[in-house]
A and B are shown apart, each in its own frame.
Chain A
Amino acid sequence: MSKPLKQIHLAAHFPGVNNTTVWSDPAAGSHIEFSSFAHFARTAERAKFDFLFLAEGLRLREQGGKIYDLDVVGRPDTFTVLAALAAVTDRLGLTGTINSTFNEPYEVARQFASLDHLSGGRSAWNVVTSWDAFTGENFRRGGFLPQQERYSRAKEFLETTNQLFDSWRGDEILADPSTGTFLRDAKAGSFVHTGQHFDIHGQFNVPRSPQGRPVIFQAGDSEEGREFAASSADAIFSRYATLKEGQAFYTDVKGRLPRYGRDRDQLLILPAASFVLGDTDAEAEEIAREVRRQQVSGATAIKHLEFVWNRDLSGYDPEGPLPDIDPDLGEHTVARGRAQVRMYRDPLATAREWRELAEANKWSIRDLVIETGNRQTFVGSPATVADTIDDFVQADASDGFILVPHITPGGLDAFADQVVPLLQERGVYRTAYEGTTLRDHLGLAHPDGRPDVRSAS
């Protein structure tokens, strides 16, 4: 007997404030108007995707002391858009990225429990952390959190919100007019949490929601991030979308689950993936090349180089050779509000490697940034892309993908119309939603073992 085919999970990431989002294309629409979000969500639901995903950043990015102006700038409030999208969709999961540093558990728990009620059990939370004083300048407490404590706060934040979600069992509301009893228990929602980051007590005021708790996503990739995911998340939004890296990550993270008494199905691994479709593979390659040039203008290439050099390189010609000066190894000050700069752990080595590559290939600065930047994950005819996705999932490099189109809001349409039917024909992708909640779509159990934080009475 061969192994049964895994069912593929697909989700859609609304194109974000990165250079991968091509705003200059004539087909590119608004990143703010609700009609764009509604279009995108309806396409995802038509394609029977598990969920829509929204990223978040709480301060506009800056480079060289000025607001970064080359990418899409600006986005709406996550909770507000997701609640509105619940009105124009019926089954699609609604995943929001919400920061655990510049929020408080009581409020975030209210918002997710409310979203879960208002969407009939379709809410999910991508828990992210930050610590920087740069973002903190927009909030009451400023840059209050040391970097090394960000995961400890995130973990306790999540534990605390879980305690709040679980503070209602779900059977408290009787609403019996004949006896006049609305609530079975005057102490419904009671909680006490005492910890390093939070010392709170009282009564939570949102009764238990359809999913009990929102589905929890985690996106960090550090050792701490992986442990956090293995202990507490339902799904990981990962960045490993090549077969080998994907398999390594998949094996690593799934291998951490037994330590927390969890089995392999309780944590889904969903890398972000971009795609370009064409009538033929050759045509798709041609389009993909053009899209990469749109994504990396000369000005964008210079800015990207500054992430590594940590210097003002505005005097350099993007069509010319790489700078011969070395990166500034001091504290990174050029690009702010961007996690990406931390990827370059050894800027000197990166600079040396890039110079050698550029010389060997006769690349300009722009050529280099295009060629060394991420290629689209899936490029090809619909059949090729469907094959690749299926192979990838069946080879345990992931459980599916969170697709990031490069055009808003229509960038998902061709995938829904051309690739999804092929996956359905193979029997690896749903033709109809089996359930109503996001937990149903993801095959996750309803949270049980709900601890009753009240004293037995």
Chain B
Amino acid sequence: MTSTPSPLHLAVALDGTGWHPASWREPVSRPRDLLTARYWADLVAEAEHGLLDLVTIEDGLGLQSSKPFGPDDRTDQVRGRLDAVLIAARIAPLTRHIGIVPTVVTTHTEPFHISKAIATLDYVSTGRAGVRVQIGPRPNEAAHFGRRTLPSLPVGGYNTPEGQKVVRGHFDEAADYVEVVRRLWDSWEDDAEIRDAATGRFIDRDKLHYIDFEGEHFSVKGPSITPRPPQGQPIVSALAHGTIPNHLVARAADIGYVTPHDSDQARAIVAEIRAEQAAAGRADETVHVFGDLVVFLDEDPAAAAARRERLDAQAGEPYTSDARIFTGTSGQLADLLQELQQAGLSGFRLRPAVVGHDLPAITRGLVPELQRRGAFRSAYEADTLRGLLGLARPANRYAATTA
């Protein structure tokens, strides 16, 4: 082993004008462009300029809200958004290397539709697609679909035994959902299309497979209508805070986004995920654990702190987050990332507080700083997202059993 740090992976989480609720009011922000393709194309071009592994795109099946369980009727924050999968598809042909990972809500959508949508995103990006799965427990979102009554939030919140039962139900469904999506990606073997003029057969149907999934919330027959995507299995990722989502990450995902506030917490989360990964028989597989951080990045720590204070004052309250909030310089952030990397994280998903300011600060400040330290790539080394993440193209589960 050498003492050279192993390169870390960097992602940026895109959401509106940034993660601070007053970010849209900054002169550098473009709140009136949020519904245009140009806006998203510019952001992703900037992220690709910085050689980042991937961008995630937030989404939701209801209006954004500062309240966890329903609309907040606020008019002073960004409201309204575009479908994340469609944004991802719209920018894919404009980029060449960066991974594109839209958010998908598992609770109300069809795994069959999403499987082919992400497979197709993989085709239109020639191998750079991923998906971030998210549960949708909000009752107001369920009312948008009208198909099911979700268990109501227990009085004591989610951190009660009853609350954990509700959470477990949603994540069990999410696990089934990921299983269906993944089986459908494998439901065509890579060489199923034969175009055999002699027999007149376009496909070898023995290389197409019914997935025959049966679960509590859905049963899906298959095969997919879309052939196996370029990466075989596009990247599956999830945000996790707590044991239940950590288990989803360990059992089914390629990347977990986690929210430790220090190295000890990071070590504990990674240990929990690794243990469950081993229990699930995935010890040999690479599962990345990325730390999520909200970032205010400036050339001077005081400037970053002042900017955060100014934004908080505009918002009328201090910004709080599930993730640690970093305020400081690129050098300080690089120190922190390397420290957390020592605790077992393999990468980071940075949430720019103000995307118009903090995204270029990441790509033009943090990235060169990490490169100087030998901790980040100096050129894209692969053409696919799996390649950037050091993941081989996986064998097809159905081909393996019939070979």
- A-side residues, CB < 8 A to B, are 23-24, 32-34, 38, 57-60, 66-67, 69-77, 79-81, 83-84, 86-88, 102-104, 106-107, 110-111, 113-115, 117-120, 137-142, 168, 172-173, 175, 177, 180-189, 198-207, 209, 297-300
**A202 close to B62 (CB less than 8 A):** yes
Shortest Cβ distance from B91 into A: residue? A87
Closest 3 CB pairs of A and B: A83-B89, A137-B221, A80-B120
19 examples of A-B residue contacts, CB within 8 angstroms: A32-B227, A69-B202, A73-B193, A87-B91, A117-B37, A120-B37, A138-B112, A140-B218, A177-B24, A177-B29, A180-B22, A182-B75, A182-B78, A186-B75, A188-B63, A202-B141, A205-B79, A206-B82, A206-B83
Complex CA–CA separation, A139 to B213 (angstroms): 11
- Chain B, interface residues (CB within 8 Å), range: 35 or more
Given A77-B119, A111-B86, 11 extra CB contacts under 8 A = A23-B202, A58-B112, A58-B225, A67-B208, A70-B201, A84-B89, A87-B37, A88-B93, A177-B25, A180-B76, A207-B80
Q: Which of B143-151, B256-264, B347-355 contacts A (4 or more CB under 8 A)?
A: B143-151
Complex CA–CA separation, A115 to B88 (angstroms): 11
**B117 close to A104 (CB less than 8 A):** no
B267 within 8 A of A: no
Q: Which of B121-129, B162-170, B280-288, B385-393 contacts A (4 or more CB under 8 A)?
A: B121-129
* List of B residues within 8 angstroms of A60 by Cβ: 208, 223, 225
Identify A107's interface contact among B74, B78, B109, B203, CB under 8 A: B109
Complex CA–CA separation, A341 to B24 (angstroms): 56
Shortest distance in angstroms between B101's beta carbon and chain A's nearest beta carbon?
14
Per-residue A-contact encoding for B168-180, CB less than 8 Å = 1, 0 else: 0000000000000
B307 within 8 A of A: no
Shortest Cβ distance from B60 into A: residue? A205
Chain B CB within 10 Å, residue with most, of A113, A118, A189, A199: A118
* List of A residues within 8 angstroms of B200 by Cβ: 24, 70, 297-300
**A205 close to B195 (CB less than 8 A):** no
Complex CA–CA separation, A119 to B83 (angstroms): 13
* List of A residues within 8 angstroms of B41 by Cβ: 87
Identify A104's interface contact among B108, B188, B205, CB under 8 A: B108
B71 within 8 A of A: yes
Per-residue A-contact encoding for B200-225, CB less than 8 Å = 1, 0 else: 11111100100000000111111101
* List of A residues within 8 angstroms of B93 by Cβ: 34, 38, 84, 87-88
**A189 close to B146 (CB less than 8 A):** no
* List of B residues within 8 angstroms of A168 by Cβ: 80
Shortest distance in angstroms between B157's beta carbon and chain A's nearest beta carbon?
23
B360 within 8 A of A: no
Interface members, chain B 46-82 (any A CB < 8 Å): 60-64, 71, 73-82
Shortest distance in angstroms between A366's beta carbon and chain B's nearest beta carbon?
12
**A84 close to B90 (CB less than 8 A):** yes
Complex CA–CA separation, A103 to B146 (angstroms): 12
Shortest distance in angstroms between A160's beta carbon and chain B's nearest beta carbon?
10
B356 within 8 A of A: no
Shortest Cβ distance from A66 into B: residue? B205
**B218 close to A139 (CB less than 8 A):** yes
Shortest Cβ distance from A68 into B: residue? B205
Chain B CB within 10 Å, residue with most, of A70, A117, A299: A117
* List of A residues within 8 angstroms of B202 by Cβ: 23, 69-73
Complex CA–CA separation, A74 to B189 (angstroms): 12
Complex CA–CA separation, A428 to B144 (angstroms): 46
Given contacts A67-B208, A74-B226, contact A140 B80 (CB under 8 A): no
**B140 close to A202 (CB less than 8 A):** yes
Given contacts A69-B205, A75-B225, contact A117 B82 (CB under 8 A): yes
Shortest Cβ distance from B77 into A: residue? A182
* List of B residues within 8 angstroms of A67 by Cβ: 203, 205, 208, 223
Chain A CB within 10 Å, residue with most, of B22, B75, B143, B222: B75
* List of B residues within 8 angstroms of A189 by Cβ: 63, 80
**A81 close to B203 (CB less than 8 A):** no
Complex CA–CA separation, A103 to B61 (angstroms): 14
Given contacts A74-B227, A86-B37, contact A33 B123 (CB under 8 A): yes
